[in-house]
Structure 1
Amino acid sequence: MRRFIPLLRHSSFIVAGALPVTALAQAAEAPGIERLPTVQVQAARGQRVADVDLPASISTVQLDDEVIGTLAQVSEALNGVPGLLARDRQNLAQDTQLSIRGFGARSTFGVRGVRVLVDGVPATMPDGQGQLSHASLLSAQRIEVLRGPFSALYGNSSGGVVQVWSADGAAGDPWRARVAAGSDATLSAGAQLRGQQGPLRYNLAANHFETAGWREHSRARRESFNGRLGVDVGGGQLDLVLNYLDAPDAQDPLGLTRAQVNANPRQATAVATQYNTRKSVRQGQAGLVFTRTEGAQTWRAMGYAGQRQVEQYLAIPPGPQANPLHAGGVIDLDGGYGGLDLRWAWQGDWLGRPLEAVIGANADQQTQDRRGYENFIGSDLGVRGALSRDQRDRVRNVDQFAQVNWQWAPRWSALLGLRHSTVRFRSNDDYITARNPDDSGSRDYSATTPVGGVVFHASDAWRVYASAGRGFETPTFNELGYRNDGGAGLALNLDPARSRNLELGTKWRGAGGAAFEAAVFRADTDDELAVASNTNGRSTYRNIGRTRRQGVEASLQQPLAAQLDLTLAYTYIEATVREPYATCASSGCAVPDTVVASGSRLPGVPKQQAFARLDYRPGDWQWAGEVVASSDTVVNDLASDTAAGYALLNLEAARNWRTAQGTLRAFARVDNVLDQRYVGSVIVNDGNQRYFEPGADRRYGVGLQWSWL
């Protein structure tokens, strides 16, 4: 706690900034205050609790038909969220790099340590590995980001929660067709049909995206479809959620060394073209949600199922694959997943004060056929060769949860929650030879994670809150894949990471959509999972002991005039090791041989991030400028190299022409206006010291959108 006090002093500028806001809040108690829309963060709130009344940090990004850009990646919409880092890797063979308050920063691919849901359907598997590539911004209405202790109510690997929600169709909703083009032969074309026909509400969106890529060997294409169909039935609402993604042969340019970045940041690593590194993903899923409210009670049942296929070609030379325990240079995954979620909510009074209770349970399962092949046949490289791995993996979780929100005094309310999670891993090895023994194995994990918080209603517009809770994170199947001692079988000795989380914050809502939020936070983690070795195409993991993530974040939305709006966001994070541990200092190292001292920075986490955006909307015009800034980022455990900080300027412009038949909208955007050289993302602890994924230079984009009824 002693180290928490300097942090509070460091964040005193936020408290000071809140004082004039407090005065405004007192004045804003009069009728006429404009509330921001109530959001639905399903597990951390009930049906009738506004986000401002929750002891948690929640940001909502509203998406409408005036959004400018290709709408190809979720990272396009998340720059202004404090505490969240969403990095465009200029590499569509890998998913958006996403972390919240430092959780998930070590992930080299996909989303790790952050829970992701799309229309209430999990996009994070039971083992904690997730992805965002199938989420459609074209059909989305909003993105919600939950940070802090109450993220634990979502279960395993919930260092934070990102939820993408599609709009519900209604009578009179416009249809729209949209096309955007830009630098590097980038093209995005899509259509959205949204409305109501009789009892059926619908929101259907299809999109085609392709690009030659800013870097060499980074061409990609994606076809996606997202649908939401709703109908009133049985006294409630039934929603069918569908989505499909096909992303064939997305080229992977791999990371670059420091020298390569300095010589030519647009190049691909030589082995990327030599082995034609690439990745293909195909996914389809469906979810069915039934919600019924009768009096004080609400029932909700959700079921979903999906199929996902992944084929990835890696740049592993033939030599290391001669090891009979090696899994090869081609990854072939094919599997299904699904789950059920049941919950019941009740609103009423207890001891004469408003109370809402929610109880529920969910079960999820993923079954995956994992095969590995050599990536060569004779002297031909980058082709599927002999089988070297064949196993069937299954992971499932069964969770129970409960929460109570009680306003126990006119100015005080409390939110308490509890979740129990059981996660079971099973792996059956079907590739058994004289030199490759049976690698089958299993491991069960379980945890009970309590959370709680109190809110003081200082005025109609101003809240102060405090919250605390526990969380846990199991290793994924990818992290269990290899033992760090080089032996055969899974790394079943890995323990889950367990964290203790604290948060103190304030929220204010003013007239005209003005809003201010600030929070001071700390998360102490035991048995943190980190890379033990990364050699010959194999990454192994270990529990390294204790770490700490603490910091302060703030955001402000302020109308400056009738047509002028300002948005600001700032994040400061100290992510450090609190217990020394050993790691590898060279790429050929198999046994950790160098000590990482207590106090060292965790890689992948910049200390500071800032965002500023100014929107001006005179009549049918829209003008905007934004600045996105980040401090330097350590790239490995030993902090032997860093990616320098940067500040980028982006500009937007749009014009609407309204007719009796609909609205034509033209838009343009320039990214990195000042043509800065910078590293947009890093590959943490890369064994070949190819840590850096350079960001693009000045980029241009234009587009047209036609909306009609």
Structure 2
Amino acid sequence: MDIPPFDLPAALSMVQIEPAASGQPGVNLSESLVGVPGILARDRQNYAQDAQISIRGFGSRATFGVRSIRLYVDGIPATLPDGQGQVSHFNFDSAERVEILRGPFSVLYGNAAGGVVQLWSAEGTPVPVTTLGVNAGSNDTFRYSVDTRGTVGRVDYNVAGSLFLSGGYRRHSRVRRESDNARFGVDLGDGKKLTIVANRLNQPVSQDPLGLTRAQVDADPRQVAAVANQYNTRKSILQNQLGAVYEQQLDSDDQLRVMGYGGQRRIRQYQSIPVSAQRNPLSAGGVVALDTDYGGLDARWTRSGQLAGRDYEFVLGASADGQWQHRRGYENFVGGTLGVTGALRRNEDDNVHSVDEYAQWYWHFAKSWSLLLGVRHDDVRFRARDHYVTATNPNDSGSKNYTATTPVLGLGFRPSDNLRLYASYGKGFETPSFNELGYRSDGRPGMAFDLRPARSRNLELGAKWQVTRGLAFDTALFRADTRDELAVGTNRNGRSTYRNVGDTRRQGVELSLDGQLADHWRISAGFTHLQARFRSAFLACRATPCSAATVPVARGTRMPGVPENYGSLRIRHGGELGWQEGLDVTGVGAVTVNDTATQQAAGYALVGVDVGYTFALAASTRLQLSARVDNLGDRRYIGSVIVNDSNGRYFEPGPGRTWMLGARLVF
């Protein structure tokens, strides 16, 4: 809906993307989120597993990829219909801004919407502009990028490509990533516009160093578990995607928007599953091969008008998304050779179809009051067709259907021109993804279709204050109560299975300050206090291997992977030319790493500094040189955790003091 962010009765942060402003290379989403409350993006230093992103505690249990959060690029889903998403194909060279929506109104985006992250590409410029960039830094890290923007006739374009290479902070963590993104806007006249977005990700090499035990971290945080080298754990990714958005102004009051997209994602992952475990005829092997085709359509009609003399806006839409995944499993050995593709052990088609309808209504029903209502109905269908059937491995085909209707309501009050108060409430739901459904807790092959979706009730109270014309302060109190929370059921032979464990609660407060402090001085600061607790007692695993949960987890135990306090601050000084300086401070509290809360990762605070100088070489040519140092104090810390890791390797250490040099030529 076309509602100004200041008037929206929800916590929404908008961050302008400036890759060169902080001296960082523009590889990770976490680089752009300094000063944004609620969201925590933890860099694993492991590009085989993607970033670990959570919003108000939702998504913290994801061991790889992004769960419980909806992701979009230029309005096109980056989350599959089963709820599993990834940010590896986010291209920050062509990006203009990133938006983070938190709280009840996230549920209007459907399944697994504990929060929403959207990346938007910039439109082409009236005058062509090309940017060439190069970065080099610690751990044999290099990045090369190019972006060109402009307009030709009625078509504006923005095309970017990059190559990222790194030896990694830890041993056995080398990566090569190629990322390309192209956006074309076509003015068709008569209020019609077509936007075409194409992107490509090729990551042929991403070694997986795995996690470490506490003893291993204390001995040498840069080491890897012996099995990582033994089985040469690694992943390769290839993704191609094409999408289009058609917009038409039907008349002065009505607008039509139709979006369609399709793509392919190919993954090969070599795991460290022991050979002895694969002797079991029901084992799926130690090599995962996923070939996924996906696509969808979304159509919405928007009408603006007046009711009782007051402005309103109404949106009615429907979408359909599909995921067609061919999953195969192979042994990770041939004879005595480990870390190679061996005999076939799993072969199935895992398909998901989602059909959704939604409506929203925004109405200024009084001079100082506004109302935002919404409702969404989701129908998500899972189907597995087993093609690996033997005398000792029966046919495990099956299907499951999940449905939910999720309403949301927001009330806004305007006591003055520079202050907004609001309250909002909504219900959400999250189906298990194929990663949770993939293995049954009884050790038998086939899908865990006995899992139920998690359902949540979300409440938020907030205030937005425009302190000065260029400085804004926001605060929000929130609570999310979830029933049928998903958690680990068993751990054995390197595999985790899942089950529903009852009720949980996530509640807390967010504070943020963003904008201009003075001429050439800017601040972005965000702080989150979050209490995440299990509200139902259940049984968990004591150690691995674990074929049955036997350890009581008491009501009130902290949920793993969720810090109680975290925040970040960036202060920047400088203009477009001459010197620019920046200071970053990031703090994250301690987190428990398993359901029983018997181990934890300590909290930490990190300081980063950067300096740059921009030269005007000609009327339209600029050269910017930059230098940056991260973890200035060279602290030892745990950058992220692998919640309930089946081998007790919970910890992923962050790097010590690192440096990065950069140069950007704009002409």
TM-score (norm: length of structure 1): 0.92
Residue 95 of structure 1 pairs with residue 95 of structure 2: no
Partner of residue 370 from structure 1, selected from 314, 327, 342:
327
CA distance in 1, matches of 2:515, 2:410: 28
Please name the residue that 1:202 is paired with.
157
Question: Does the aligned pair in 1 maintain the 2:568–2:586 contact within 8 Å?
Answer: yes
Q: How does 1:524-543 map to 2 (within 5 A)?
A: 524-543=481-500
Please name the residue that 1:440 is paired with.
397
Partner of residue 109 from structure 1, selected from 50, 64, 67:
64
Residue 292 of structure 1 pairs with residue 248 of structure 2: yes
Q: Deviation per CA, 1:80-108, whole angstroms, max 9, x where unpaired? A: 21010101001111110000000010000
Q: How does 1:573-588 map to 2 (within 5 A)?
A: 573-588=530-545
Residue 548 of structure 1 pairs with residue 505 of structure 2: yes
Partner of residue 314 from structure 1, selected from 263, 271, 280:
271
CA distance in 1, matches of 2:508, 2:657: 32
Residue 680 of structure 1 pairs with residue 639 of structure 2: yes
Please name the residue that 1:633 is paired with.
591
Aligned-pair CA distance for 1:73: 1.6
Give ranges in structure 1 of 5+ residues lacking alignment. 1-45
CA distance in 1, matches of 2:35, 2:84: 25
Partner of residue 671 from structure 1, selected from 630, 634, 658:
630
Instruction: Tell me the SS of whatever aligns to 2:161.
Output: strand
CA distance in 1, matches of 2:644, 2:106: 27
Instruction: Tell me the SS of whatever aligns to 1:589.
Output: coil
Name which of structure 1's ranges 105-114 and 481-490 shifts more when overlaid on structure 2.
481-490
Aligned-pair CA distance for 1:558: 4.7
CA distance in 2, matches of 1:337, 1:687: 30
Instruction: Tell me the SS of whatever aligns to 2:209.
Output: coil
CA distance in 2, matches of 1:371, 1:304: 25
Please name the residue that 1:271 is paired with.
227
Please name the residue that 1:153 is paired with.
108
Please name the residue that 2:87 is paired with.
132
Please name the residue that 2:453 is paired with.
496
Please name the residue that 1:7 is paired with.
none
Instruction: Tell me the SS of whatever aligns to 1:151.
Output: helix
Please name the residue that 1:238 is paired with.
194
Aligned-pair CA distance for 1:170: 2.6
CA distance in 1, matches of 2:631, 2:445: 48
Instruction: Tell me the SS of whatever aligns to 1:51.
Output: coil
The residue type paired with residue 113 of structure 1 is S
Please name the residue that 1:60 is paired with.
14
The residue type paired with residue 557 of structure 1 is D
The residue type paired with residue 462 of structure 1 is L
Question: Does the aligned pair in 2 maintain the 1:452–1:468 contact within 8 Å?
Answer: yes
CA distance in 1, matches of 2:189, 2:413: 40
Instruction: Tell me the SS of whatever aligns to 1:170.
Output: coil
CA distance in 1, matches of 2:331, 2:198: 35
Q: Deviation per CA, 1:617-653, whole angstroms, max 9, x where unpaired? A: 1652110101000110110000111000000000011
CA distance in 2, matches of 1:511, 1:244: 42
Please name the residue that 1:250 is paired with.
206
CA distance in 2, matches of 1:138, 1:73: 11
Please name the residue that 1:213 is paired with.
168
Residue 401 of structure 1 pairs with residue 358 of structure 2: yes
Partner of residue 568 from structure 2, selected from 611, 622, 637:
611
Question: Does the aligned pair in 2 maintain the 1:548–1:578 contact within 8 Å?
Answer: yes
Q: Deviation per CA, 1:271-297, whole angstroms, max 9, x where unpaired? A: 101100000000000001011123111
Q: Deviation per CA, 1:554-590, whole angstroms, max 9, x where unpaired? A: 1012533212222221000000000101111111111
CA distance in 2, matches of 1:397, 1:79: 34
The residue type paired with residue 585 of structure 1 is R
Question: Does the aligned pair in 1 maintain the 2:19–2:92 contact within 8 Å?
Answer: no
The residue type paired with residue 184 of structure 2 is L
CA distance in 2, matches of 1:373, 1:66: 43
TM-score (norm: length of structure 2): 0.98
Question: Does the aligned pair in 2 maintain the 1:611–1:628 contact within 8 Å?
Answer: yes
Please name the residue that 1:361 is paired with.
318
The residue type paired with residue 595 of structure 2 is D
Please name the residue that 2:291 is paired with.
334
Instruction: Tell me the SS of whatever aligns to 1:458.
Output: strand
Partner of residue 422 from structure 2, selected from 428, 453, 465:
465
Question: Does the aligned pair in 2 maintain the 1:243–1:286 contact within 8 Å?
Answer: yes
Please name the residue that 1:190 is paired with.
145
Question: Does the aligned pair in 2 maintain the 1:230–1:237 contact within 8 Å?
Answer: yes
The residue type paired with residue 656 of structure 1 is T
Aligned-pair CA distance for 1:687: 1.3
CA distance in 2, matches of 1:538, 1:90: 22
Please name the residue that 1:656 is paired with.
614
Q: Deviation per CA, 1:18-70, whole angstroms, max 9, x where unpaired? A: xxxxxxxxxxxxxxxxxxxxxxxxxxxx12x1011111000011013643311
Question: Does the aligned pair in 2 maintain the 1:79–1:85 contact within 8 Å?
Answer: no
The residue type paired with residue 95 of structure 1 is D
Q: CA RMSD in A?
A: 1.0
Q: Deviation per CA, 1:449-493, whole angstroms, max 9, x where unpaired? A: 000010001111100000000000000011111111222321111
Please name the residue that 1:483 is paired with.
440
Please name the residue that 2:410 is paired with.
453
Please name the residue that 1:700 is paired with.
659
Question: Does the aligned pair in 1 maintain the 2:352–2:380 contact within 8 Å?
Answer: yes
> Which structure has the highest strand share of the two?
2
Residue 171 of structure 1 pairs with residue 126 of structure 2: yes
Question: Does the aligned pair in 2 maintain the 1:89–1:693 contact within 8 Å?
Answer: yes
Name which of structure 1's ranges 177-186 and 617-626 shifts more when overlaid on structure 2.
617-626
Please name the residue that 1:86 is paired with.
41
Please name the residue that 1:568 is paired with.
525
Question: Does the aligned pair in 1 maintain the 2:456–2:481 contact within 8 Å?
Answer: yes
CA distance in 1, matches of 2:15, 2:515: 15
CA distance in 2, matches of 1:448, 1:474: 13
Question: Does the aligned pair in 2 maintain the 1:102–1:549 contact within 8 Å?
Answer: yes
CA distance in 2, matches of 1:484, 1:637: 17
Q: Deviation per CA, 1:411-438, whole angstroms, max 9, x where unpaired? A: 0001000000000000000000011000
Question: Does the aligned pair in 2 maintain the 1:515–1:558 contact within 8 Å?
Answer: yes
CA distance in 2, matches of 1:292, 1:396: 28
Q: Deviation per CA, 1:597-629, whole angstroms, max 9, x where unpaired? A: 000000000000021221111652110101000
Give ranges in structure 2 of 5+ residues lacking alignment. none
Name which of structure 1's ranges 479-488 and 448-457 shifts more when overlaid on structure 2.
479-488
CA distance in 1, matches of 2:367, 2:614: 47
Question: Does the aligned pair in 2 maintain the 1:79–1:86 contact within 8 Å?
Answer: no
Please name the residue that 1:281 is paired with.
237
